[in-house]
Copies of this chain bind each other. A is one copy, B any other.
Amino acid sequence: MNIEIIGFLAGLFTTIAIVPQIIKAYKTKKVAHLSPVFFSILLIGVFLWALYGFLKEDYPIIITNSISFLLNGYMLFLYFKYK
């Protein structure tokens, strides 16, 4: 198997992983057991990754982490909406 395909799948999985959590929070409106600190640190982390990709002109890093930033930001928004 091509190494780049593994990297692509790795990026795809870590980027879309949060979607089931967003769907669960959106449907149940229950978020009390989630840690807002978790999603906040993750949000800062993926922002820094996107910045790193921008400075390195690495488009896969920019694109995956920008999507992660939006998804994590929306999850954090749902947390504060439903808590």
Binding site for B on A (CB under 8 A): 3, 6-7, 9-21, 23-25, 28, 30-35, 37-39, 41-42, 44-46, 48-49, 51-52, 55-56
Contact = CB atoms under 8 A, between A and B. Distances in A.
B52 A10 contact: yes
Task: Give the secondary structure class of A's interface.
Answer: helix
A36 to B, nearest CB: 8
A44 B11 CA distance: 11
Given A32-B33, A34-B33, A9 B41 contact: no
Contact of A30 (B18, B25, B32, B41): B32
Contacts of A23: 35
Given A6-B48, A6-B55, A52-B7, A13 B42 contact: yes
